[in-house]
Amino acid sequence: RELRQLEGGWISTEQVKRSRVRLQRLGYFEEVNVETPAVPGTDDQVDVNFNVKERSTFGSFVFGVGFSQSQGLLLNSSVSEDNFLGTGKRVSATINNSRVNTIYSFSYTNPYYTQDGVSRGFRLFWRTTDAGRANVADFTSDAYGGNVNYGIPLSEYDTLRASVGLEHTKLKTLSTTPQAYVNYINDNKDEFDVYQLGLSWSHDTRNRAFFPDAGILQRLSLDAAVPGSGVTYYKLASRTSWYQALNKYFTLVAEGDVAYGEAYGDTSGFPFFENYYAGGISSVRGYRANSLGPKENGRALGGAFRTLASAEVFFPPPFAADTNSFRFGIFFDIGNVFASVDDFDGSELRYSTGVSALWLSPLGPLTFSFGKALNKQAQDDTEIFQFSLGAAF
């Protein structure tokens, strides 16, 4: 299904190359090589042989352990099958637990719902959140819901995704909850249903899923709580990642991310529980996770507008036998989060630089960074060393 060179057809060098790229982007293989030997006894036919080296996997039952400085110890277990009953469908049941979130979820995906490559999936979940444990302002929430989603290929490189869902949320305040959050609940509700609509477009020309060195990944998305919901709002986001090999060993990666949200209808103010945050190993390294932007009593409030950018040069470890699962990097990050788009101030952007390391370990991605905050302000919290061990799913 991923091969673009058809058996019995005229051979096309471009289609063979594209087939190899599509196999690499599945993420299942460390290496994908192709050979085209002549068919014995013929002078006008060739075989197309793809030789793959699989990545290490955990099988269908996974128990994972991870750690991040924003969420602490991460425990998860999952039962998953990527080829359920030999049908090619993916089924997964997962339990994730950290000091911030506890999540139970079940998902089902048919990646080839139609012969044209349209996918369809379902997801059910239950989640509890203690936001104060993530270095941000205190509140707790309980939520459960589900959605159905479709992926529609528009071209060889472009995909449209659409989803509809329902989520029920219960908010709880504490004695340390910011007054702005309390006011929001008083003006709106502390328990409500949200009817969700999600739309996204992606353009992906990367040559592989892990450590690509060519191509671009662009994504535009809209997530909305539609009329009839207990609260109504929308969120728009744009993210671009560009990959360019500088030579055999060095790859330049440039990324930009802009996200914006706003309430509409009778809802008073953008929901604080949907706020964006910045700072930490996944955004502006060198600053404590989720710590940037507006604050109250030293705790980050987040905001409805976030802008991030980074440039990083990756290279494999010198003299290492296995360079398929490890990379070093030198990075420059910039970004911040603001209460609203009207509050954006370029002088409030934060900068950092440093070195990083990424290992695709059997437990999941293990990321380290040594970052230096370049324009720290008095209210900022910084961390030179940051790391995260992603639990396997």
Nearest to 350 by CA among 375, 325, 381: 375
Residue 220 has pLDDT above 80, yes or no: yes
Residue 3 has pLDDT above 80, yes or no: no
Mean pLDDT of 245-256: 95
Mean pLDDT of 248-269: 95
Report pLDDT for 392.
Answer: 36
Report pLDDT for 391.
Answer: 43
The predicted-structure confidence for 66-93, as pLDDT tens digits, reads as follows: 444 445 454 555 566 665 665 667 888 8
**Which range among 62-71, 98-107, 160-169, 254-263 shows the weakest confidence by mean pLDDT?**
62-71
The predicted-structure confidence for 367-384, as pLDDT tens digits, reads as follows: 899 999 999 999 999 989
Mean pLDDT of 243-260: 96
Which range of 5-14, 330-339, 370-379, 382-391 scores highest in mean pLDDT? It is 330-339
Report pLDDT for 57.
Answer: 47
Report pLDDT for 30.
Answer: 65
**Which range among 9-18, 215-224, 306-315, 349-358 shows the weakest confidence by mean pLDDT?**
9-18
Residue 115 binned pLDDT confidence (cut-offs 50, 70, 90): confident
Report pLDDT for 76.
Answer: 52
Q: Return the domain boundaries, the chain.
A: 1-55, 56-389
Contact 295, 321 (CB under 8 A): no
Query: Is 1-55 a CATH 3.40.50.10470 domain?
Result: no
Residue 35 binned pLDDT confidence (cut-offs 50, 70, 90): confident
Residues 6+ apart with CB under 8 A from 248: none
Chain-centroid distance, C-alpha 286:
20
The predicted-structure confidence for 43-60, as pLDDT tens digits, reads as follows: 777 767 777 776 554 444
Report pLDDT for 96.
Answer: 78
Report pLDDT for 69.
Answer: 47
Give percent of the chain above pLDDT 90.
55
Residue 18 has pLDDT above 50, yes or no: yes
Q: What is the DSSP string of 136-186?
A: B---EEEEEEEEEEEEEE-SSSEEEEEEEEEEEEEEE--TTS-HHHHHHHH
193 is written with which tokens?
A: 């249903």
Indicate the average pLDDT of the chain: 85
Neighbour count for residue 34 (Cβ, 10 Å): 15
Report pLDDT for 265.
Answer: 93
Query: Is 56-389 a CATH 2.60.40.10 domain?
Result: no
Nearest to 272 by CA among 381, 71, 131, 125: 131
**Which range among 179-183, 317-321, 377-381 shows the weakest confidence by mean pLDDT?**
317-321
Report pLDDT for 241.
Answer: 97
Place of tokens 């008095």: 378
Report pLDDT for 25.
Answer: 64
CA distance 393 to 380: 34
Mean pLDDT of 383-392: 72
In this structure, which amino acid lies at residue 342?
Answer: D
